[in-house]
Amino acid sequence: MLHANSLAINKNKVLLFKTTIYNKLSSMIKKKISFVLILFVFIVSGSSQNEKPNHSTQGREHLLMDFNWRFAFGSANDYAKDFTTGTSYFTYFAKTGYGDGAAAPQFKDSTWREVDLPHDWAVELPFSGSASHSHGYKTIGWKYPDSSVGWYRKKFDIPASDLGRKISLQFDGIFRNSTVWVNGFYVGHEQSGYASSVYDITDYLNYGQENTVAVRVDASIEEGWFYEGAGIYRHVWLNKTDRLHVAQYGTFVTTELNGENAELTVRTKVQNQHAQNATFAVEQTLIDANNQNVVTKKIENVTLNGNLNKTYFQKINVEKPTLWSLENPYLYKLKTCIIAEGKVVDTYITNIGIRTVRFDPNLGFFLNGKSVKIKGTNDHQDHAGVGTAIPDALQEFRIKKLKEMGSNAIRTSHNPPTPEFLDACDRLGMLVLDENRLMGIDQEHFDLLKRFMVRDRNHPSIVLWSLGNEEWAIESNEKGARITKTMQEFAQKVDSSRAFTVAVSGGWDNGSGKTAQVMGYNYIVQGDIDEHHKKFPWQCGIGTEESNTIGTRGVYVDDKENGRMAATNRMPENVGTESGWKFYVARPFLSGLFFWTGFDYRGEANPLSWPAVNSEFGLMDLCGFPKDIFYYLKSWWGTKPVMHIMPHWNWKGSEGKTIKVTIYSNAEEVELLLNGKSLGKKTMEKNGHLEWDVTYKPGNLVAKGFVKGKLTVSEKVETTDVPAKIALSADRLKLDADGEDVAVITVQLTDLKNRMVPTACNEIQFSLAGPGKIIGVGNGDPASHEPEQFVETASNPTPQWKRRVFNGLAQIIVKTTKQAGEITLTASSEDMAPVTILLNSKTVIDQ
C-alpha cells in the first residue's frame, strides 16, 4: 500500500521528468528561433473586432472556448455532493497541482451534461414562492445549497509548438465566486460575478497533450438585488502570445480636435516576458472603415529589460477624420505592431472612434462640440428565455429596439457589461454610462475598478463613468463624500478623458453629491434639483434614474393578485415617464436622463410580490415587446411621425361603458373616430399626450394625426375575432453557422383576418429541423411560471418545447450550430394549422 509521502515522491519524479523535457524543448526552440519570429496578432482590445475573433496565426491567437463543456451541480454545504473537492490529505491549497475531486484532471465527468457557453443555469430552475423576491423567485441562493453551486469542466489540446509562448485563460464573466483549476493547478479565484478575469496558465500546461480546465461557481450569495443568473454566462477565451507583446487591453487612445483635424494620443503598454533584454520598434497604423491605411507612426530602437513592462506614448495627427457620432458611428482600427530583429512579432488591433465628449454645468452634454440631450434607459443584462447568458446577436437586437424608440444612451445598471455589448453600442451609435459594481477604497475595490476601466476605456460609446449606485450607508453623509473623492482621484489616473458620476437617491447636498464631478440624480421626488444646482454651480448634472409609467404589457385592469397590473405612475407623487421627461427637457443644465428601465427584468417585482416574478418597470417587457408607454417616448425622442392608440378594442361585455382612450403621437392635432364617426379633434401639447372618454362599441377606433392641417399619420385598432392562426416572424433570416448566432422569432396569434388578437393566451408547441437548436422561450408575462428552457436529459433526450402566448405574443430564440444549412421552425396549437419559418445559416469564413 502506498502512503501519501510515496505518492508525492512519485509525482515529483513525473514533474522532474516534465521539467527536463521542457528545458530540452526550450533549448531547441531557442536554436530555431527564426521559425517563430513572424507573429500576426488579433485580440480584443478595448473595442474589439467585429468579426468572431477566433484567429489562429503564427503569432497571437484569441480562441473562443465556448463549446463542449461539461456541467454538473455541486453543493454549497455537503462535500460529498461537491465531488469531495478539497477533502484530500493534501488539498490544492496545501500543495501546488493537487486539485482533487472535480478539480483533478483525471476526474471522470462523462456522466455530466454537455453545455455550450454562455450558460445561465438559474434560468433553468423552477420557481418557488419561498425563494428570493429580488432574484425572481428562482430556487437558487443560500436556501438551496444543491442548486447554487455548479461545476464546469473542459478538455483542450495545446500543441507542442506552443511551448515558449505565453498562454492565458480569459473569463469575461462568471456569476459568481468562481475558482479555476488547470490540470489540477489552482490558478485563481474571483468573487465578483461581473469582473473579467485573466489567468496565466503557461507553466501549468501539457504541451502536445490534453489539458483540463475545471471551474467551480458558487451563486449562494447575491451580489445585486435583481436577477443575476448563475454560471459561466459570458465568453471564455484562450490567448496565446509571443513573450514580447502588447499587454492585454494595453492600448489607450484619446482624441483632441483641432478644427477639422484630430490629434490622437496613443499609450501602448508593452510586456517583455523574456528573461533577456529586448530591442524593438512600436509601429502604429490607423486604418479606416474601408480597410485603407490613413497614417503610420513609428517609435524606433526601444529597449526593454527582461520581465518588465513599460508604456510608450505616441502622437498621431489625422487630417479631416470622420467623427464617431450617433448618426454615423464611424470606427477606425489602430494596428500596433511590435517589430524585433526586422520582423513583426506582435500585431494588436484596437477599434476606436474619433470623437470628443464634455459635460457643462450650465449647458449639459456635448458630443464633438454639439449639444446632445441624453435620452437613456437603465438596463440589466437579462432577457426572456436565456437569462443573463445573452448571445451577442441578442445584445444587438436589444440595442436596436431601444434605438427604435429614439433612445440614444444606456446605463449599465449596476455593473460592468459584457464586452460584446459595448462593441454593439460602438457599431450602432448608442451612448453608454458604464457603471462600477461596488464603491470602496481598499485594494480589492480599486483593482476591480481599474480592471473594468482599462478593459472598456477605448470604446467611443462610453461617455461617462459611474463609480457606484445608491450606496445608502454613505451616499448622504461625509463618508460618502470622502469615498467618492478618493475613488474619483484614483479613477482619473486610469482615464482623465471622461467625467465621473455617482447615482444618489437622497441627501444630495451632504454626501457623494458634494464631490462627484457629475451629480447623478436618482428620481426627482428625492430632493430639489434646482436648489442643489444653485448650491453647487460648478457641478454638472444628469438623471441617472427616473420613474417610468409601469405596468404589464396589454393589461388595462389591475389583476395584482395574479401578478399583473395596469399602467400606473410609480411614485406616490404621480411621477411617471411624461412628467420625468418634461422636467429634464426643460432644464438645459441637466444633460439628460435614464429611465428605469428599458426592459422588464426578472426579480424586483415591486410593488407586487409572488406570484409576480418579474419587474414591470420596463418600457418593453422581458422579450422586448413594446408597452404602450414606449410610444410616448418614440413620439418625442424620435424623428418620424408616430401614432399609437391604447387600449385595444376587445371589450366583450363592456358595451355601453366608458373607456379612457389615450393617444401617443407627435402630430400637432389628432382626430379620433369610432366606427367612422368623429369624436373630435384635439391639439397635442409638446411632450404630452391626449385622452378621450369613449363609450364602448365593438368595431374600430381610428386616430388621424395632422401637421399644419395635413394628414401625416394614422393608426387603427379593431375588435378582433377569436384566435385562429399562428404567425411567425424573425428579426433576421440569414445567420452565421458559427454555433453562436441567433434569430429572435416573434410568435403572434391572429384571427382569420390576420389581425393580432390582443387577449390570446393559447399554448404553442415548437419543433425544429436542421442545423440549429432552440435555446429559450418567453412571452413577457411577469407572473408566468412556465419553463423558459427544456433541458435534454437521459430520460428525456428530446423534450417538447412549448409556451403560451401572453396577450397575443410570445418569443422563441433559435441558435445556429457550426454546420451550415436550412433551419425550419414549426409552431402548432390546438385547432390551428401548423406554420413554419425558414432560417438559413451560412458558413463563416475566418478573416
Helix (H) or strand (E) holding 220: none
**Gap between the Cα atoms of 71 and 153, Å rounded:** 7
Backbone angles phi, psi at 233, to 5 degrees: -100, 0
Closest CA to 644 of 635, 636, 654, 653: 635
Residue-wise over 75-97: b if at least 16 C-beta within 10 A, else e?
bbeeeeebbebbebeebbeeeeb
Three-state secondary structure of 351-420: EECCCCEEEECCCEEEECCEECCEEEEECCCCECCCECCCCHHHHHHHHHHHHHHCCCEEECCCCCCCHH
What are the grid coordinates assigned to 605, written together? Answer: 417585482
Nearest to 141 by CA among 152, 130, 151: 130
Q: Grid coordinates representing 423?
A: 462593441
Closest to 817 (Cα-Cα) out of 844, 787, 846: 844
Of 639, 704, 637, the C-alpha closest to 672 is 704
Instruction: For the chain, state the CA radius of gyration.
Output: 28
CA distance 833 to 831: 7
Please provide the size of the chain in residues: 847
Closest CA to 245 of 352, 347, 349, 351: 347
- 628-637 and 392-405 helices, crossing angle to 10°: 70
Contact 223, 193 (CB under 8 A): yes
User: Side by side, which strands form the sheet with 677-683?
Assistant: 677-683, 669-674, 700-707, 710-718
List all residues 6 or more positions away from 633 whose beta carbon is below 8 Å from its beta carbon: 375, 405, 406, 407, 577, 581, 595, 619
Parallel, antiparallel or unpaired: strands 332-340 and 809-816: unpaired
Helix, strand counts (H, E) of the chain: 8, 46
DSSP 8-state class, residue 46: B
- Based on the number of CB atoms within 10 Å of its own CB, is 693 exposed (0-12), middle (13-18) or buried (19 or more)? exposed
d(C-alpha 448, C-alpha 487), whole Å: 12
C-alpha cell at 835: 406554420
Alpha carbon 78 to its chain's center: 34
E-state strands within 709-753: 710-718, 725-730, 734-736, 742-750
The Cα–Cα gap between 314 and 281 comes to 12
Catalytic residue positions, numbered:
470, 545
Q: Provide CB contacts within 8 A for 287, sequence distance 6+.
A: 293, 294, 332, 333, 334, 335
Rounded distance between C-alpha atoms, residue 572 and residue 583, angstroms: 17
Quick one: which of 423, 323, 431 has its CA closest to 376?
431
Start-to-end CA distance of the chain, whole Å, equals 56
Cis peptide before 607 (omega within 30 of 0): yes
3-state secondary structure 333-353: EEEEEEEECCEEEEEEEEEEC
- Residue 204: enclosing H or E segment and its boundaries? none
